[in-house]
Amino acid sequence: MNYEEWYKIEKLAKSWTLEAAQLLKDSFQNSLSITYKSHISDLVTNMDKNIEKFFIEKIQKTFPHHKVLGEEGYGDEIYDNAGIIWIIDPIDGTTNFIHQQSNFAISVGIYEDGIGKIGIIYDVAADDFYFAKVGEGAFLNNSKLNTLEKVTLTEAVVGINATWVGPNKRVNHENVQNIVKQSRGTRSYGSAAIELAFVAAGKIDAYMTMRLSPWDFAAGLILLNEVGGVVTKTNGEPISILEQNSILAAKPGLHEEMLEHLSK
């Protein structure tokens, strides 16, 4: 793919995201149809489905050879990284979308042969548009984001959900408690995409969670790569783009310090 083709993909991905956001904002006037997926906390609305279908229709019409991996399952069966894959979360933070009508995002990560090319995270209610293009940097509303500087845990604000601070089956909670105690403070926003964008923008210094799906982190990874953020699984291994992963995303220095705690 040449520069012009990627520029076209960038333009359309941005304008489709803005159109999708308008559909979400318009939906606040109507009553939502809410159903459960695997359990009572795993919610999906008619809007999650509509927005995913909206993107798929546009992509299939304009770029028939591209593939789509979406949370709601209307996209393609994806078996490997080959070609161009749009990894889409139509609403990241569905619980927030339902309860607050804020703190939810549209997340779009576009990969070519497994390499992250374009990342978009749009925090709709805040009107904060995060965008990254490989090699060209990351941006928040047209301001270029700075490269992330080294920081220590004692001066860091860490994004983490309370689930992981108590006994749970995925991580030794005593290690997590040590991280929480030594940090300057913790925050939890209920949208992994927004939390990853916040790390990229330096609003928080790290984000860790024990299970995310590709659509939750696909765009965030591209943003973080452009600003020198370090992202691995919580055991230090590289992330597999097409699988569920634990995630530790942090500023340099802090990432090693948190990994050390988590390996005890």
For binding to Ca ion (CB under 5 A), which residues are involved?
71, 89, 91
Rounded Cα–Cα distance for residues 71 and 60 (Å)? 17
* 123 near ligand 2AM, rule: CB under 6 A: no
Task: Name which of Ca ion, ligand 2AM, none residue 213 binds, using a CB cut-off of 5 to 8 Å depending on partner kind.
Answer: ligand 2AM
The smaller minimum CB distance to ligand 2AM, of residues 27 and 161, is found at 161
> Taking the complex as a whole, how short is the minimal distance between the CB of residue 68 and ligand 2AM, in angstroms?
16
Q: What are phi and psi of 212, to 5 degrees?
A: -130, 155
> Taking the complex as a whole, how short is the minimal distance between the CB of residue 107 and Ca ion, in angstroms?
8
* 248 near ligand 2AM, rule: CB under 6 A: no
Contact with ligand 2AM (CB under 6 A): which of 153, 179, 192, 204? 192
What angle, rounded to 10 degrees, do the helices at 3-27 and 46-62 form?
150
Q: What Rg do the C-alpha atoms of the chain give, in angstroms? A: 18
Contact with ligand 2AM (CB under 6 A): which of 50, 81, 152, 161? 161
The smaller minimum CB distance to Ca ion, of residues 71 and 205, is found at 71
Near ligand 2AM in 208-237, by CB under 6 A: 211-213, 216
Burial of residue 245 (CB within 10 Å: 0-12, 13-18, 19+) is buried
The smaller minimum CB distance to ligand 2AM, of residues 134 and 187, is found at 187
End-to-end CA distance of the chain: 45
Near ligand 2AM in 61-90, by CB under 6 A: 71, 89
Q: What is the DSSP letter of 78?
A: -
The smaller minimum CB distance to Ca ion, of residues 91 and 208, is found at 91
Rounded Cα–Cα distance for residues 210 and 160 (Å)? 10
3-state SS class at 178: helix
* 93 near ligand 2AM, rule: CB under 6 A: yes
Task: Name which of Ca ion, ligand 2AM, none residue 112 binds, using a CB cut-off of 5 to 8 Å depending on partner kind.
Answer: none
C-beta of residue 153 within 8 angstroms of C-beta of residue 250? no
Which residue in the shown chain puts its C-beta closest to ligand 2AM? 192
> Taking the complex as a whole, how short is the minimal distance between the CB of residue 95 and ligand 2AM, in angstroms?
6
* 101 near ligand 2AM, rule: CB under 6 A: no
> Taking the complex as a whole, how short is the minimal distance between the CB of residue 36 and ligand 2AM, in angstroms?
12
Q: Which residues pair with 132 in a beta bridge?
A: 119, 138
**Where does this chain touch ligand 2AM (CB under 6 A) — which range of 22-30, 173-181, 207-215, 247-255?**
207-215
3-state SS class at 253: coil
E-strand stretches of the chain: 34-36, 43-45, 67-70, 84-92, 105-112, 115-123, 128-133, 137-140, 143-144, 157-160, 185-187, 206-212, 230-232, 245-250
Residues within the interface to ligand 2AM (CB under 6 A): 42, 71, 89, 92-94, 161, 190-192, 211-213, 216
